[in-house]
Amino acid sequence: MSSVSIIGLGNMASALAGRALAGGNSVEIIGRDRAKAEELAAALGATVGTYGVTPAGEIVILAVPYASAAAVVSEYGDVLRGKVIIDITNPASPDFTSLVTPDGSSGAQEIVKAAPAGAHIVKAFNTLFSNVLAAGPAENRQLDVFIAGDDAQAKARVSAFIESLGLRPLDTGQLPMARALENAALLEMGLVAHSVKHTNFFLGVSILS
């Protein structure tokens, strides 16, 4: 099992924390608003960390909006050295039709620029809606979690964590593949807007042979 620190207090933070605890992991909740962090942690049965202080978890999940993700990593600085950082953000434009990252880059790659040497960024969970993640597998089908990262050991640790949640990790390759995963999230938003009309679905892989 893993020790996990989740920076953020929103729906994805809550869904990930709940599933992580159910999977036997230790979870630390961290937020700028200490009172809200304590309230969420108490509701879930997690511990509370202090914003800006070294996270207790070996795995740190960035469950904050993309617009503030790099700044958060920069604020923490060297205390994140040696940590596996899971980037779940989507760098989407306000109308959810394009990415706001530079051409040829991804949100995850931009976050790397703010991270200290020795920290390992892994993209994961960005294609799952919080309500789907909180609900868990549907009709006995595991939810798929696509991951991307440059460090094989970090991806192995994230994969083990994902499996502890009852989900299936699918490695897509090196960190530049995060751009494809972020575009997949745009695809989902297009489906919500134009055909499916709700968020009770997920993207997955059906292996035929």
pLDDT at 141 (0 to 100): 74
Q: What is the mean pLDDT of the chain?
A: 96
Q: In what order do the strands lie in the sheet with 168-171?
A: 47-48, 26-30, 3-7, 59-62, 84-87, 120-123, 144-149, 168-171
36-48 residue pLDDT tens = 999 999 999 999 9
161-189 residue pLDDT tens = 999 999 999 999 999 999 999 999 999 99
pLDDT at 142 (0 to 100): 85
Q: Mapped to the 3 state alphabet, what secondary structure does 16-50 carry? A: HHHHHHHCCCEEEEECCCHHHHHHHHHHHCCEECC
90-145 residue pLDDT tens = 999 999 999 999 999 999 999 999 999 999 999 999 999 999 999 876 666 789 99
pLDDT at 16 (0 to 100): 97
pLDDT value at 192 more than 80: yes
